[in-house]
Structure 1
Amino acid sequence: MPYTPHDIFQRSSAPVTIDEARCIADKGCTVCVDVCPLDLLAIDVTTGKAYMQFDECWYCMPCERDCPTGAVKVGIPYLLR
């Protein structure tokens, strides 16, 4: 089931959320992990999906922009928009 950015934002308070149905990290993709300058993203060894391991996001957006499937969404707080 595809999620809209609004659905993802409502389900999580983390700045970066991953739609596991769209994430292809289990197929070898590590784009979001590789482009994050703060090393906040990792691959969960049990699910094979990407996740945010630390909550110190700079909202720099390369993880969302470079994700080949659009699974990564960065929720920018209202006051930073």
Structure 2
Amino acid sequence: MPISSHITSVPVSVDEDKCIAHKGCTVCVDVCPLDVLAIDFVKGKAYMQFDECWYCMPCEKDCPTGAIHVDIPYLLR
């Protein structure tokens, strides 16, 4: 049986160049109702810890630097 060789993407992506979690920002983590986002304290950046997104978008809308992007599947748009 063949194994899939493509990498699946997570619904929430973080532009690490824009993320200011290293300065103490936790807005995306605080507004997520499912607690799927977390801060990587080694890198000082936010990331998607669990792939359980409801595509509700407060993380993207409330991010002060625009570092968060929610990729809504085509069938849900």
Q: Give the structure-1-normalised TM-score.
A: 0.85
Matched, 1:69 2:38: no
Question: Runs of 5+ in structure 1 lacking a partner?
Answer: 1-10
Instruction: Specify the alignment match of 2:48 in structure 1.
Output: 52
Instruction: Specify the alignment match of 1:37 in structure 2.
Output: 33
Instruction: Specify the alignment match of 1:78 in structure 2.
Output: 74
Matched, 1:14 2:14: no
Amino acid at match of 1:68: P
Q: Give the structure-2-normalised TM-score.
A: 0.89
Cα deviation digits, residues 13-32 of structure 1 (max 9, x gap): 10000000000000000000
Normalized per residue, the structure richer in helix is: 1
Instruction: Name the CA shift for 1:58/1:68 in 2 (closer, same or farther; >3 Å).
Output: same
- Percent of aligned pairs sharing the same letter: 77
- Stretches of 4+ moved more than 3 A in 1? none
Cα deviation digits, residues 27-70 of structure 1 (max 9, x gap): 00000000000000000011010000000000000000000000
Amino acid at match of 2:43: T
Bigger-Rg structure (1/2):
2
